[in-house]
A and B are shown apart, each in its own frame.
Chain A
């Protein structure tokens, strides 16, 4: 009997260790077993990842940190920021979603830039606001950063049932990595309309349903109804992007509003035809698909942008270190290629540019506020 009790207790220990490893408080407890794991990882990873880098520029590798410091104004050189201490990256959405994948792909590059380990923690809830509100109360030390999505910032903020006081300015913005523009897609075997004009004309006469995964997709439809007098009904899928895609592929709704990243695979498989992209310029992944501006002359943008941020009032010197690292990691060609395979356009934006973009969109959202919720 004793043996079994011991067994159970050791199970318990294993479990607590696992929890600790994944946890955000892992930093202090984890070292005991983490090296064993990470060693394995790096052993397998290093030859592949570093070979190419080393071949090209063996010397700069070592010199890079020094070079960067020289170029920067004195303030960032004066702090010894991560100093090897681990950083926690909070993804305020569920694991496996677009934001989660995008950030997990960025982490290895960011780790290299900052020369430290970064732990990703998923903390979903309240469309991101649970994690952000909690983060806002913390001491701004730069060791806890969070992913931020423009949709949560602009749409869920104004949910009358859970209005949020904080806004994009209340956090220290660290830079934007991806902008995923909205598209309107129809089924490849659709017979009623084939082109944008037919789609709009048909929508004026008939009621059409379009599926989407979130509130931001609803605004797109409201905007079109306003602009053309069409009868589009928004069907927001309770099952997220997957449900929205199934509904249109199965012919249960008439069209789909989604981001480029979400419709690229079905498009490549010949299942969907994108009619229009709500971006400034044509998406490099859908070079044949016109932008909304080309079609109508009206330059409105709908998108989902993903940035990184931390608690407001971060020491400018530390901020500069993070901003530089994120800029460098995001613009690393390997990362750009990785993301491109997922149909995600890496579009680096400085914190200032991202803030401006969010605010521009906010003004469109505010127009539709009374019909939105």
Chain B
């Protein structure tokens, strides 16, 4: 009971409540804008947090983190411009749903699953952080490598119409991931002496280019054609449907609950690992959701389960990333690394002592984080019906705004024009690929997971002290992901073969949907 008093005292001050509100609203706004990732959102608010009470400051920052991840899904769904890298997986199904006039449904699903994912991770953070942090130590480079490979196996099925197209863009992504200084040996590859390329192709400008910029260019093209779509990117009939439902009928939900919980747990676990953040979590759980679905062919063409998986996972990552940060002083994601700065500046040195010495500060913060996730859901419900109209804004207004935001967003990351050029280059790449019916998502996926797999491989070689195969074989967690990867690759083949046997008509009936 004493603890409860402490939590109440810390949490219910004007400053903390204000910080909570600023964090949730500011986080959602910044997350929704392309280029302002959750890391940027937290970085921008850190200087403001200096003057605040520690509890208020940290509640604001953690609320910003989780809300920014959720905010990213709003623009991903409505205008195909993921606000943060974590929402790239959401964009595929979410935008397809918007095109079908089901944008509001997608937003509703994103709101609910983000909130559930966030709450599950916040509870885990509050109650079982130390054992979970211990568990995270079981994962090291070899496991990271196999997790990344498992994530990469989804490329084949992101392809949509042609497997070959998907694999081709996946390879382009892997090749682009090679650019820069190699992690373990420090050898530079394909940098051509350009200093800015030493750190590799930065994910955020590439993502903005591939998704937002190429989207704007495609819209421009449509607009210039006679009889082009004057009102946004959705068709007239779809626009009528936009009023649809935010919430699904209650009896529909049980279908999504297993997926929501599974994705939250995956997100939590990915979040705990250092060097793997929301972007990886959302892809891995998307892969799981697709593999375990009875209709994997609907993924990528507007499947609510896809939105559910990706959004539950990326918000679960936020709490997960805080677990090793607070207990072991090891940040679980890029944003958590920035939060480490915020903690330290307020004298809250992470580590075992944090929960003893500073319990009167840390527990209110953790409960604040939980409340932030709930508040985020409430705000999402309240604004859902309003923001969905963004999808209906005339293209001639929306396109310039997207372009300006894309340029600003990529410049703001490092205050460097170079990133803007990278963004523009990827805009053109994305435009032509999409014109030629090549999917762009595999590039982003490969750009995220390729370096992770390679780094894991290089480190395994060094850590093995001899035969690396033997080293991997001695690690049960590696086996787990090898088995998952093999299943993930072979299952579709087997299922297809089985389908062909059972009747070609059925397969035909289900494929020409889009």
Question: Which positions in A face B, CB cutoff 8 Å?
Answer: 1, 4-5, 8-9, 11-12, 14-16, 18-19, 21-24, 37, 40-45, 94-97, 100-101, 104-105, 108, 120-127, 129-130, 133, 159, 161-162, 207, 209, 215, 233-239, 242-243, 245-247, 249-253, 265-266, 268-271, 338, 341-342, 372-373
The answer to whether A19 and B52 touch across the interface, beta carbons within 8 angstroms, is no
Q: Quick check: B401 and A8 within 8 Å, CB to CB?
A: yes
B389 interface residue, CB < 8 Å from A? yes
Across-interface contacts of A1 in B (CB, < 8 A): 392-394
Q: Verify if B258 is at the interface (C-beta below 8 Å from A).
A: no
Tell whether B308 is near chain A: CB-to-CB under 8 Å.
no
Complex partner residue of B198 from A12, A96, A162, A234, CB under 8 angstroms: A162
Cβ of B340 within 8 Å of any chain A Cβ, yes or no, is yes
Q: Which of A12, A124, A237 contacts B404 (CB 8 A)?
A: A12
Kindly state the separation between the CA atoms of A345 and B48 in the bound complex, as whole angstroms: 27
Quick check: B463 and A123 within 8 Å, CB to CB?
no
Which of B47, B345, B390, B465 is A101 in contact with, Cβ under 8 Å?
Answer: B345
Q: Contact: A235 with B188, CB < 8 Å?
A: no
**From A22, which residue of chain B is reached at the shortest CB distance?**
B44
B382 contacts the other chain (Cβ, under 8 Å)?
no
B274 contacts A239, C-beta separation under 8 Å: yes
Q: How far is the CA of A41 from the CA of B52 in the complex (A)?
A: 7
Stretch from B155-163, B289-297, B348-356 that touches the partner = B348-356
Greatest chain A CB density within 10 A among B33, B137, B339, B353 is at B137
Asked whether A12 lies within 8 Å of B401 as measured between CB atoms, the reply is yes
Please tell me if the beta carbons of B193 and A250 are within 8 angstroms of each other in the complex.
no
Do the beta carbons of B330 and A245 come within 8 Å of each other? Answer: yes
Q: Is A8 a contact of B345 with CB atoms below 8 Å?
A: no
Taking a contact as CB atoms under 8 Å apart, the answer to whether B51 and A238 are in contact is no
Chain A residue, CB-CB nearest to B419: A125
Stretch at the interface among B368-376, B409-417, B431-439: B409-417
CB distance from B414 to the nearest CB of A (A): 6
Contact indicator A238/B139 (Cβ below 8 Å): no
In-complex Cβ contact of B274 among A234, A242, A372 (8 A):
A242
- Are A8 and B330 in contact, with the CB atoms below 8 A? no
Chain B residue numbers with a CB within 8 Å of A16 are 408
Partner of B51, one of A18, A45, A100: A45
Q: A96-B340, A124-B414, A127-B198 are in contact. List 12 more A-B contacts (CB 8 A).
A: A14-B29, A24-B415, A96-B43, A96-B331, A96-B337, A123-B414, A161-B181, A162-B198, A239-B455, A265-B350, A268-B351, A269-B351
Within 32-57 of B, Cβ neighbours of A (below 8 Å) are at 33, 36, 39, 43-44, 46-48, 50-53
CB of B196 within 8 A of chain A? yes
CA distance A96 to B389 in the complex (A): 37
**Given known contacts A100-B341, A105-B345, A250-B140, A130 and B184 CB-to-CB distance under 8 angstroms:** no
Q: Which residues of B contact A (CB under 8 A)?
A: 29-30, 33, 36, 39, 43-44, 46-48, 50-53, 136-141, 181, 183-188, 191, 193, 195-196, 198-199, 274-275, 324, 328-331, 334, 337-341, 344-345, 347, 349-353, 389-390, 392-394, 397-398, 401, 404-405, 408, 411-412, 414-416, 451, 455, 458-459, 462-463, 465
Residue of B nearest to A23 (CB): B415
Contacts of B43 in A (CB 8 A): 22, 95-96, 122
Is there an interface contact between B455 and A268, defined as CB atoms closer than 8 Å? no
Neighbouring B residues of A342 by C-beta, 8 Å: 344, 349
Chain A nearest Cβ from B140, distance in angstroms = 4
**Chain B: minimal CB distance from A123 (Å):** 6
The 9 closest A-B pairs by CB, nearest first: A238-B183, A161-B188, A41-B51, A250-B137, A238-B455, A239-B275, A252-B140, A96-B338, A96-B337
On whether A246 and B465 interact (CB within 8 A), knowing A96-B337, A265-B351, the answer reads no
Chain A hits for B401, CB < 8 A: 8-9, 12
Question: Which residues of B lie under 8 Å from residue A271 when comparing CB positions?
Answer: 328
Measured between C-beta atoms, what is the minimum distance from B457 to chain A in Å? Answer: 10
Known: A246-B136, A253-B463. A15 touches B405 (CB 8 A): yes
Contact yes or no, B141 A252, CB < 8 A: yes
A242 and B345 form a contact (CB under 8 A): no
Q: Is the CB of B390 within 8 A of A4?
A: yes
Given contacts A94-B337, A125-B195, A341-B347, contact A268 B48 (CB under 8 A): no
A238, B390: Cβ atoms under 8 Å?
A: no
- In whole Å, how far is B139's beta carbon from the nearest beta carbon of chain A? 7
Collect the chain A residues with CB atoms within 8 Å of residue B393's CB.
Answer: 1, 4-5, 8
